[in-house]
Amino acid sequence: MKLQLALDRLTREECLRIVKETEQEIDLIEVGTGVIKEYGMAIVREIKKIYPNKTIVADMKTCDAGGHEAKQAFEAGADIVTVMAFSSDLTIKDTMKVAEEYRKQAMVDLLEVSSRDRMQQLENIGVNLVSLHVGKDKQQEGNFDTELFSLVKGFEFEVTVAGGINLDTLPDIIQKKPDTVIVGSAITKASNPQQIASEMKRLID
């Protein structure tokens, strides 16, 4: 199981500091959507340049123009781009096609999708990497509910999971054996990000 650090609602300097502090504990670095909106592909390029051996996820949250946006992120050095599950199949297919051309990956974000029929459609078009995700705003309604895993049960997807995960909720999530746990605020807003990342990595291992 891997640990992915999500960089959201941070300045460029905060992103660089937190990654530096936690680099030994984390497997993947996610450049968050808001950070990309603030700094564009430049920050993806910069982080990949500093950490060429880390897997860089550009959380583009693409919902249209999939091929174009995937190309932008891969050209900047991203290894994985995100595309929304509620998008047109054509958007997802174009994103995956570009990912294949670059020998990279597309991750389909299941935010606000609750239909197993949609999971079947995603499998049919060749999706293999998905993200079970409770959005930042939705987190006001409560902690990550592991019942969400039932959405992907029985499918062959590689599964990542995100949504306000912290040291209290992590043990139950680990029981569900996702391939990757994505953690943002619990690490980035901590007074000692390295300590939290280290405790999480120890639980995951």
Ligand X SMILES: O=C([C@H](O)CO)[C@H](O)[C@H](O)COP(=O)(O)O
Note whether 178 binds ligand X by CB under 6 A: no
| Site residues (CB under 6 A) for ligand X, limited to 41-80 | 59
The DSSP letter of residue 148 is G
Q: How far apart are CA 170 and CA 29, in angstroms?
A: 19
- Among residues 6, 60, 81, 130, the one that binds ligand X under rule CB under 6 A: 6
CA distance 113 to 135: 11
Segment contacting ligand X (CB under 6 A): 25-33, 65-73, 99-107, 145-153?
A: 25-33
Q: Does 193 bind ligand X (CB under 6 A)?
A: no
Q: How far is the CB of 1 from ligand X (least distance, A)?
A: 16
Residue 111 Ramachandran class (φ > 0 left, ψ -120 to 50 alpha, else beta): beta
Nearer to ligand X, 89 or 112 (CB): 112
Burial class (CB in 10 A: 0-12, 13-18, 19+), 117: exposed
CB 54 within 8 A of CB 29: yes
**Minimum distance from residue 137 beta carbon to ligand X (Å):** 9
- The contact pattern for ligand X, residues 116-155, with x = CB under 6 A and - = no contact, is -------------------xx-------------------
Closest to 187 in 3D by CA, of 170, 205, 174: 170
156: tokens are: 């062959």
Task: Find the shortest distance in angstroms from Cβ 99 to ligand X.
Answer: 19
Sites of contact with ligand X (CB under 6 A):
6, 8, 30, 32-34, 59, 135-136, 162-165, 182-186
